[in-house]
Chain A
Amino acid sequence: EPEVTQTPSHQVTQMGQEVILRCVPISNHLYFYWYRQILGQKVEFLVSFYNNEISEKSEIFDDQFSVERPDGSNFTLKIRSTKLEDSAMYFCASRKEGTGDTQYFGPGTRLTVL
């Protein structure tokens, strides 16, 4: 069964450094998402991406965040200058077509900013 994959599973970085989180969505899916979950808290929407552009972003997704689909398979989230409060689990998700279609989540990348 196809699944969303994410790398790395855990990333440790120093405050102020840039990080790139990578995702490979399910191959026939058209909509891509990033969510984050600060430890012990609920999952929060960051950004949605469709047809090679951002379709919606939350207030969390400020100028230090960017997303890219550099090729036909990868979907990346870049954080330019990490802050301590960026420490969280970051989930990538994808879905096929139609609003009701399920979003399938990757296993997540745990980002720790020191």
Chain B
Amino acid sequence: AQKITQTQPGMFVQEKEAVTLDCTYDTSDPSYGLFWYKQPSSGEMIFLIYQGSYDQQNATEGRYSLNFQKARKSANLVISASQLGDSAMYFCAMISTGTASKLTFGTGTRLQVTL
């Protein structure tokens, strides 16, 4: 069984600062993928970034980067130069290649960007 743990229910960050949202995972599958999704107050789920378990380099997408530490089973999201529009819920999710590729989600972190 897979499990995603997000231990920060809420985070505050000042505009233009960087912030790290924590995510740890547990799986016995040798091959898996990790995702981050953003959910603004309007409710939709927006894909941000993906990291495969065999990827040699940490994933980056614009201001988003994923700090992947396989031995520690962590996949933290780093948002650089925070903007007011980054205020939202952020969900970490995992997919395993041995399944029908359903996503298992964490409980989320609510990020609030302040002036």
A residues with a Cβ closer than 8 A to B are 31, 33, 35, 41-45, 48, 50, 55-56, 58, 89, 91, 93, 95, 99-100, 102-108, 110
Q: Whole-angstrom distance between the alpha carbons of A105 and B105 in the complex?
A: 14
- Contacting A at CB under 8 A, from B34-66, are 35, 37, 42-47, 50, 52
Chain B residues near A (Cβ < 8 Å): 31, 33, 35, 37, 42-47, 50, 52, 91, 93, 95-97, 99-108
Q: Are B43 and A99 in contact, with the CB atoms below 8 A?
A: no
Is A103 a contact of B103 with CB atoms below 8 Å?
A: yes
- Give the total number of A-B pairs whose CB atoms are below 8 A apart: 67
Q: How many Å lie between the Cα of A91 and that of B42 in the bound state? A: 13
Which of A42, A48, A89, A108 meets B102, CB within 8 Å?
Answer: A48
Instruction: Provide 7 A-B residue pairs closer than 8 Å at the C-beta atoms, listed in order of the A residue.
Output: A33-B102, A42-B107, A43-B105, A99-B97, A103-B47, A104-B47, A107-B43
The minimal Cβ–Cβ distance linking B31 to chain A, given in whole angstroms, is: 8
By a CB distance below 8 angstroms, the chain A residues around B105 are: 42-44
**Candidates A35, A108, A110; contact of B103 at CB < 8 Å:** A35
Contacting pair A108 B45 (CB below 8 A): yes
Q: Are B35 and A102 interface neighbours, CB within 8 A?
A: yes
Q: A100-B50, A102-B35 are in contact. Are A95 and B101 (CB under 8 A)?
A: yes
CB pair B44–A108 under 8 Å, yes or no, is yes
- Give A96 Cβ to nearest chain B Cβ, in Å: 11
Nearest A residue (CB) for B53? A100
A55 to B35, CA, bound (A): 21
Chain B minimum-CB-distance residue to A108: B43
A42-B91, A43-B91 as given contacts; A100 in contact with B43, CB under 8 Å: no
Q: Is the CB–CB distance between B45 and A100 below 8 Å?
A: no
* Docked-complex contact B50 and A102, CB < 8 angstroms: yes
Per the bound structure, the CA–CA distance linking A33 and B45 in Å amounts to: 14
A102 to B34, CA, bound (A): 10
Determine whether the beta carbon of A105 is less than 8 Å from that of B37. yes
With contacts A58-B102, A108-B44 known, what are 12 further pairs, Cβ within 8 A?
Answer: A42-B107, A43-B103, A45-B102, A45-B104, A48-B101, A50-B100, A56-B102, A99-B33, A100-B50, A102-B47, A107-B42, A107-B43
